[in-house]
Structure 1
Amino acid sequence: MTELRDVRAGQSLCAYDLRRATEAAARAAYAWIGRGDKSQGDAAAIAAMEAELTALGFDGQVLIGEGPRSETSQLYHGQRFGDPGRIPLWDIAADPVEGTSFLAKGMTNAMACIAVAPAGSLFDPGPAFYMEKFVAPPAAKGRIDPAAAVEAKMAMLAQCLGKPVEDLTVYVLEKPRHRDLVERIHATGARVALYPAGDVAGALMAAIPGSGIDALMGTGGCPEGMLSACAIKVLGGEFSARIDPQLATERRAVETAGMDLDRWWSVDDLVRSDDVTFCATGITTGLLFEGIERTATHERTQTLMVGGGAGERQLLTSWHRRGP
């Protein structure tokens, strides 16, 4: 996987550049860990990420961000970076704090993440906010029908991975909507790893062989799904998604938009390019990496980089000198 190159500006955008945006967001959010105010931590991370994206100077447009411009003034859908007089080269999917509740409560798996792909190559979820997902390692890619019953999926996954169903562990968000799903997974004999949040972390763990998580199942956010899909496209894992509205207002909006609620989209449908760069920096320690660690003089970050010159994946630990 090569680095992304802006041929018009004569600049390169690689994972080592893009990580500055997630590291800045994570460091800004650090002060709000465990303080019970998710809005302040989110706002600090948004401002820091936006400032770094501006400093990068590439031609990109936010496809998936903090919401429509009518609801937010930073990282809003359609926000341009670079020269607004030109057609943007890159689609941006950004989540300055994935797991705002985790951040506010001082819990695991809070992270800052971003993905960049050539303009027009990412699926736009439009008014949809939720999608049902099925994620598994590369050995299962294209071999499991995402629309199949839970029991059939588990049996086929076990066959793909060469292990008994009883040895499988499935990551599921701990939500009331997943009670039946959890019961059906348990009935097959498999284990369930329940987390109240951490959609991106769970998806990436499911796509990485030998991580201890064999699959992710259930319904989560569309922004988190698209961020995960970008990374999993490079990782070579299985990722399938179906628009799954959870509120009556959301259902009306997606039906008005003519979106097919029965179609399962493959990772290649969702991310139609191999030139993808994904970066995520831990805020609190979680499944993927350690969170921010602060000393009197430095802050240590851990960042997962996928694609963009970093190969399939790299985990980078950095020390940043603190300002006065």
Structure 2
Amino acid sequence: MMKAGLLRQGLVFPTRPRSSCALRHARQVARAAGGSDNGKSGAGAAVLGKSQKEGNELTGPNYVTVDRNLAMELVRVTEAAALAGGSWLGKGDKNAADQAAVDMMRKVLSTVQMNGIVVIGEGEKDEAPMLYCGEQIGTGQEPLVDIAVDPLDGTTLVSQGRNGAISVIAMAERGALFDPGPCMYMEKLAVGPEVNPHMVSLLYPVERNIKAVAVALNKPVRDVTVCILDRPRHAEIIAQCRQAGARIRLLSDGDVAGAIETAKQGSPVDLMLGIGGTPEGVIAAAALKCMGGSLQGRLWPRNDEERRKAEAAGLDISAILYQDDLCKGEQVFFAATGVSDGDLLRGVRYYSGGASTNSIVMRASSGTVRMIETQHKWAKPSITNIDNLN
């Protein structure tokens, strides 16, 4: 009686029901039978699902079915690549920097529980020994996913010791990411979530797009900032932006960060235009999917041979590729880590016995965008630790 009275007053907690032990046992049985904790597939999962229901009635919320946030696992991948690639900053060897980043990204990706296919990678199988298009990556277990990687977006930036280099990766459910085939370049237009994607188009004149962005953001055209890769091929676009009265921010390299800046809160960039890498375009589309922004693209063959290969692959080089053409679905994850300092992310900082990294992590289904600061200690066991920095 006394215990019952104390229980009503909240001074004594009831013991956990013994049925929760059955739930724990069911999980063990499910794992042994080849099922997963998420209770979505396999015979073992069916057993787990039944016990979950019994356990929930007595133990509260069912946290077992919470989806894995794979972006939190992917950030370890970009951190490792950034740590390795960043060690070559300013040393004048972009190939060595890129290879170091590729090696570490591949090493860490192989430990992630997934059955991944590289859709955007380092080239065809005969061109790249690691992270080539079509390579299977991960542990081989579910989920089935597409992977797009750029271990070092801005290899020249790193070799020259300049700002703006990042390591990036995007993941989506199988078949969700656009495969550009032989077309390595595309026209791009990126805007943030405040701009209705139907109000801008690669089919419209530059001035019309700038005015549409100005209206959407409730600012005069003179205050709209357009970011463009600093390339001779963009001379006409730059001239049209200036004629319209917009401000311009030129990027020396790496337009993935430029696309993300259009959707980042507090960023001065409102619109991204120009021709850049198709792989980077798909990766940027995944990031903007998570942030609520949008990216349009149109394939831009560099020569007749690339045009013929694209047509042979069944690609329509005249078609506008919209956000969902480039990256569809809601199970989209993105992670990036700064290699050298930039507007989006701070670069790697090395110190005696370790380093620090600055990353951004996103998830489309929840819309969450996280900024992560990580301290890495070489003396501690971690797969992201790197050796032979020099």
Q: How does 1:64-83 map to 2 (within 5 A)?
A: 64-82=120-138
Counterparts of 1:317 and 1:6 in 2: how far apart (Å)? 33
Counterparts of 2:39 and 2:253 in 1: how far apart (Å)? 35
Residue 199 of structure 2 corresponds to residue 165 of structure 1: no
3-state secondary structure, aligned to 2:262: helix
Cα gap change, 1:107/1:63 in structure 2, threshold over 3 Å: closer, same or farther? same
TM value normalised by structure 2:
0.78
Cα gap change, 1:236/1:204 in structure 2, threshold over 3 Å: closer, same or farther? same
Q: C-alpha displacement at 1:176, in angstroms?
A: 0.8
Give the equivalent residue in structure 1 for 2:161: 106
Counterparts of 1:308 and 1:137 in 2: how far apart (Å)? 14
Q: Where does structure 1 lack aligned partners over 5 or more consecutive residues?
A: none
Q: C-alpha displacement at 1:208, in angstroms?
A: 2.2
Counterparts of 1:108 and 1:41 in 2: how far apart (Å)? 15
Q: How does 1:298-309 map to 2 (within 5 A)?
A: 298-307=354-363
Q: Which has the higher contact order (CA 8 A, sep 6+)?
A: 1
Q: How does 1:227-242 map to 2 (within 5 A)?
A: 227-242=283-298
Q: C-alpha displacement at 1:7, in angstroms?
A: 5.3
Q: C-alpha displacement at 1:6, in angstroms?
A: 10
Look up the equivalent residue of 2:252 and give its one-letter code: P
Counterparts of 2:360 and 2:184 in 1: how far apart (Å)? 25
Q: C-alpha displacement at 1:253, in angstroms?
A: 1.5
Look up the equivalent residue of 1:215 and give its one-letter code: L
Give the equivalent residue in structure 1 for 2:194: 139
Regions of 4+ moved over 4 Å: 5-11, 308-311
Q: How does 1:43-192 map to 2 (within 5 A)?
A: 43-82=99-138, 89-142=144-197, 143-192=199-248
Q: How does 1:240-251 map to 2 (within 5 A)?
A: 240-251=296-307
Q: C-alpha displacement at 1:210, in angstroms?
A: 3.0
Counterparts of 2:242 and 2:139 in 1: how far apart (Å)? 53
Q: Where does structure 2 lack aligned partners over 5 or more consecutive residues?
A: 1-37, 46-66, 380-386
Look up the equivalent residue of 1:76 and give its one-letter code: Y
Look up the equivalent residue of 1:109 and give its one-letter code: G
Contact 1:13/1:58 (8 A) holds in 2: no
Give the equivalent residue in structure 2 for 1:287: 343
Q: C-alpha displacement at 1:302, in angstroms?
A: 0.5
Q: C-alpha displacement at 1:209, in angstroms?
A: 4.1
3-state secondary structure, aligned to 1:56: coil
Cα gap change, 1:31/1:24 in structure 2, threshold over 3 Å: closer, same or farther? same
Look up the equivalent residue of 2:217 and give its one-letter code: L
* Corresponding pairs, count: 319
TM value normalised by structure 1:
0.93
Give the equivalent residue in structure 2 for 1:211: 267
Q: C-alpha displacement at 1:318, in angstroms?
A: 0.5
Look up the equivalent residue of 1:271 and give its one-letter code: C
Counterparts of 2:130 and 2:222 in 1: how far apart (Å)? 46
Cα gap change, 1:147/1:111 in structure 2, threshold over 3 Å: closer, same or farther? same
User: Which among 200, 203, 210 is matched to residue 256 of structure 2?
Assistant: 200
Larger radius of gyration: 2
Which is richer in helix?
2
Counterparts of 2:372 and 2:310 in 1: how far apart (Å)? 39
Q: C-alpha displacement at 1:246, in angstroms?
A: 2.1
Look up the equivalent residue of 1:187 and give its one-letter code: Q
Q: Percent identity?
A: 37
Contact 2:111/2:139 (8 A) holds in 1: no
Look up the equivalent residue of 2:190 and give its one-letter code: V
Counterparts of 1:312 and 1:128 in 2: how far apart (Å)? 32
Counterparts of 2:263 and 2:337 in 1: how far apart (Å)? 18
